[in-house]
Amino acid sequence: MADDFAPFDPPDWLDREDDLLAPYAMRARRSRGRRRPEADHAFRTPFQRDRDRIVHCTAFRRLMHKTQVLVTQTNDHHRTRLTHTLEMTQISRTVARRLGLNEDLTEAIALSHDLGHPPFGHAGETALNECMRGHGGFEHNLHALRIVEVLEYPYPEFPGLNLTWEVREAMAQHSRRRDAPEVAEFQESGRPLLEAQVADAADSLAYDAHDVDDALGAGLITPDDLTDVPFWRAALERVRQRFGELRPEQFRPTMVRTLISSQVVDLLEHTRRRLQAERIRSVEDVRRHGEVLVGPSPEMLALKTGLEEFLRARVYLHARVQRMTVKGARIVRLLFEEFCRAPQLLPERYASRTARQGVERTVCDYLAGMTDRFAQEEYLRLFHPYHAV
């Protein structure tokens, strides 16, 4: 807390940002601030404090046991939503720093980008949205906003994490539900900040690469299956040119590294060219610009699309992944129905909220917060005749 430290006058981060950042970067001193105003911290910018609040919140730690693509039990080293978040955050920081953007803001946005995901990946989200039809629906970006504004409450001075407007805006801008009342206050600002655009690009960059890695690791596909994918083939040629034939222990990580680094280099070059060509010289220019400015070149986009089509057909729709998907969705649906039918089964902390916000939203909050394994356990506790309650 700010009052634990003797205040510097002025805080030392103010000038540091001016020394380091490009003119189109968001500066902490220009932040629209927090819902509940707080005194400046002596040596952390508001965005650094946001980053720390996110890392210390419960929803962040739960990402450890939430499905990215493969369900938790598949093996012990595939990505979970937490490790995906860490990988894409590091890529986001590299790109932000190289472009002269606000690395702290980018980091906070990146670390928070998957906070609102329910258990069992997108299957869980679809199931929860169907359960909530007629009760406001469910979408992970809106739920992330709800987590940081309402559901987490670690601070005595205010509800939620009291994050800056800019970090919350990035969550709201991501939402496909532009009609939702929670999004209204973020509608007028124009295009997302470049820092948010970087996190977005890094998200897709990271999962395209690591989903291939995990699918190979879990034996869902083999390297031979990938030879018709142009992006893989291009990376393979580069790896062979440079290293010749590699042993399996090095082959896969080297291929994945190549998939990542070629995308990062392309993203940096293409984005820098666009910022120059479009004469982007301020945050206002970014806000006013007709299109997103951070992104891959058309050539790289085509390569990524080819790889994503392959992943959809051969990995996301793979029978072993689908078994998890269908089962996860069923667990979510059955838990939802049972808690709505008998809200007295909810833990006290949630049961006390039903009068204020309705049974359905309360059950949805409880379910969305669950990790995969907690949802599976809860299912057994409720439905298995001999399982402890």
CA distances, 344 to each of 65, 338, 350, 359 (Å): 27, 10, 10, 10
Of 71-79, 161-169, 200-208, 280-288, which part binds Mg ion (CB under 5 A)? 200-208
203 near Mg ion, rule: CB under 5 A? yes
Closest distance to Mg ion from the beta carbon of 285 (Å)? 28
Alpha helices per DSSP H over 218-296: 230-243, 248-277, 283-288
For residues 153, 156, 161 and 162, what is the CA-based torsion angle, rounded to 10 degrees? 140
- On whether the CB atoms of residues 105 and 26 are closer than 8 A, the answer is yes
Q: What character string, x for contact with Mg ion (CB under 5 A) and - otherwise, covers 69-108?
A: ----------------------------------------
DSSP letter string over 272-286? HHHHHHTT--SHHHH
- Amino acid at residue number 61: R
CB of 304 to Mg ion, least distance (A): 15
For Mg ion, the binding residue among 17, 50, 104, 114 (CB under 5 A) is: 114
Nearer Cβ to Mg ion, position 114 or 208?
Answer: 114
31: its two tokens = 């932040």
CA end-to-end span of the chain: 40
Between 144 and 359, CB nearer to Mg ion: 144
CA–CA distance from 191 to each of 90, 144, 175, 202, 293 (Å)? 23, 20, 13, 18, 9
Least distance CB 156 / Mg ion (angstroms): 32
Instruction: Compare residues 21 and 110 and give the one whose CB is closer to Mg ion.
Output: 110
Of 85 and 262, nearer to Mg ion (C-beta) is: 85
Q: How many residues bind Mg ion (CB under 5 A)?
A: 2
Where residue 120 falls (left for φ over 0; alpha for ψ -120 to 50; beta otherwise) is left
Q: Given the complex with Mg ion, which of 114 and 139 has the nearer CB atom? A: 114
Q: Which is nearer to Mg ion, 80 or 271 (CB)?
A: 80
User: In the bound complex, what is the minimum distance in angstroms from residue 251's beta carbon to Mg ion?
Assistant: 26
Least gap, CB of 114 to Mg ion (angstroms) = 5
Cα–Cα distance measured from residue 376 to residue 374, given in angstroms and rounded to the nearest whole number: 5
Query: CB 345 → Mg ion: shortest distance, Å?
Result: 32
Question: Whose Cβ is closer to Mg ion: residue 66's or residue 270's?
Answer: 66
- Which region among 17-25, 109-117, 213-221, 277-285 touches Mg ion (by CB under 5 A)? 109-117
Closest CA to 70 of 294, 330, 323, 290: 323
Closer CB to Mg ion, 21 or 148, in the complex: 148
Beta bridge partners of 164: 34
75, two tokens: 């093996």
Confirm or reject binding of residue 125 to Mg ion (CB under 5 A): no
8 Å CB contact between 145 and 171: yes
Q: Is the distance from CB of 271 to CB of 294 less than 8 angstroms?
A: yes
From CA 291, how far away is CA 281, in angstroms rounded?
A: 15
Name which of 114 and 125 has its Cβ closer to Mg ion: 114
* Minimum distance from residue 386 beta carbon to Mg ion (Å): 38
Q: How far is the CB of 124 from Mg ion (least distance, A)?
A: 14
How many Å apart are CA 26 and CA 387, to the nearest integer?
Answer: 53
Based on the shown chain and the rule CB under 5 A, indicate whether residue 182 belongs to the binding site for Mg ion: no
Q: Which residue sits closest to Mg ion, CB atoms considered?
A: 203
DSSP 179: T
Task: Kindly state the smallest distance separating residue 85's Cβ from Mg ion, in Å.
Answer: 7
Contacts to Mg ion by CB under 5 A: 114, 203
